[in-house]
């Protein structure tokens, strides 16, 4: 049980940003990658908290599941869940923008051709939540994969980034497989072949374990 005694917080799914009581802005995330990570971490002996936006997946056993809908709720739930945690893995697809005003009643179709929604930025959980845990981000990109992922890793103070090219066949949203590259703080890139999301999860957790072991060693050496 290589992650015994570790508390790992994983996020999954795509957030929903309410427009009115019946409508929202969403995205195509299925939650499969985040759930696979949570289950793989549980199987390695970790205590796992899964903070999940709505998905069609059933609750995994042996995992604390916290349900949220919006990006604002995501940040609040992750802030609470990561207090004292060892690792945060943000696999959720969090909306970058939310409607400035949420209509209290269902918006009716007016005469005229269109409707303009004013959007404001959401909080960035990965970048803003404080804590001394191992921080892992995900980047789903359709162009300039490595350049974008590297920039996000630095900006969001991460130890590791999982980058996937959503234009690659059998990779990205909704499918059971993923083709990813793992990028670390030193700029090293590990291009993994196409594999199941469960296998990707274990590859990510191998790296997380290395990072945790490195931290333990540094603490020990520093304390001597």
Residues acting as catalytic residues = 27
d(CA 38, CA 201): 8
d(CA 77, CA 131): 14
Give the interface size with ligand CTP as a residue count (CB under 6 A).
15
Closer by beta carbon to ligand CTP, 33 or else 212: 33
**Helix, strand, or coil (residue 45):** coil
Give the x-and-dash track for 140-169 against ligand CTP (CB under 6 A).
Answer: x-----------x---x-------------
Residue 34 contacts ligand CTP per CB under 6 A = no
Of the residues 59, 80, 96, 144, which one makes contact with ligand CTP according to CB under 6 A? 96
Residues 6+ apart with CB under 8 A from 34: 10, 11, 12, 13, 50, 52, 89, 91, 92
d(CA 123, CA 138): 16
Residue 171 contacts ligand CTP per CB under 6 A = no
Residue 125 contacts ligand CTP per CB under 6 A = yes
Binding segment for ligand CTP (CB under 6 A), chosen from 104-112, 124-132, 167-175, 202-210, is 124-132
d(CA 18, CA 20): 6
Residue 34: name the closest of 79, 70, 66, 2 by CA. 66
Residue 90 contacts ligand CTP per CB under 6 A = yes
Contact 33, 12 (CB under 8 A): yes
Binding segment for ligand CTP (CB under 6 A), chosen from 31-39, 47-55, 62-70, 92-100, is 92-100
Of the residues 43, 64, 69, 124, which one makes contact with ligand CTP according to CB under 6 A? 124
Of the residues 52, 122, 164, 178, which one makes contact with ligand CTP according to CB under 6 A? 122
Which residues are 93's β-sheet partners? 14
**Helix, strand, or coil (residue 22):** coil
Of the residues 38, 126, 205, 211, which one makes contact with ligand CTP according to CB under 6 A? 126
d(CA 68, CA 219): 35
Of the residues 19, 33, 63, 71, which one makes contact with ligand CTP according to CB under 6 A? 71
Residue 135 contacts ligand CTP per CB under 6 A = no
Binding segment for ligand CTP (CB under 6 A), chosen from 91-99, 111-119, 171-179, 190-198, is 91-99
Q: How many CA atoms lie within 13 A of 2 on its CB side?
A: 12
- Under the rule (CB under 6 A), what is the footprint of ligand CTP? 71, 90, 92, 94, 96, 122, 124-126, 137-140, 152, 156
């Amino acid at each position: 049980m290589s992650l015994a005694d570790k508390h790992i917080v994983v996020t999954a799914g795509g957030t929903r940003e309410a427009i009115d009581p019946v409508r929202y802005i969403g995205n195509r995330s299925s939650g499969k990658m985040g759930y696979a990570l949570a289950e793989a971490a549980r199987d390695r002996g970790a205590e796992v908290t899964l903070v999940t936006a709505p998905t069609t997946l059933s609750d995994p056993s042996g995992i604390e599941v916290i349900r949220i809908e919006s990006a604002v709720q995501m940040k609040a739930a992750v802030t609470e869940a990561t207090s004292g945690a060892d690792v945060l893995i943000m696999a959720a697809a969090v909306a970058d923008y939310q409607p400035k005003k949420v209509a209290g009643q269902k918006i009716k179709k007016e005469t005229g051709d269109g409707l303009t929604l004013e959007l404001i930025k959401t909080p960035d959980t990965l970048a803003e939540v404080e804590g001394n845990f191992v921080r892992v981000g995900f980047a789903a990109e359709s162009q300039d994969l490595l350049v974008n992922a590297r920039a996000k890793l630095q900006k969001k103070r991460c130890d590791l980034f999982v980058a996937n090219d959503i234009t690659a066949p059998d990779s990205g949203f909704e499918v059971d497989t993923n083709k990813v590259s793992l990028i670390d703080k030193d700029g090293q890139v590990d291009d993994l072949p196409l594999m199941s999301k469960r296998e990707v999860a274990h590859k990510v957790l191998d790296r997380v374990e290395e990072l945790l072991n490195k931290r333990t060693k540094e603490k020990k050496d520093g304390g001597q």
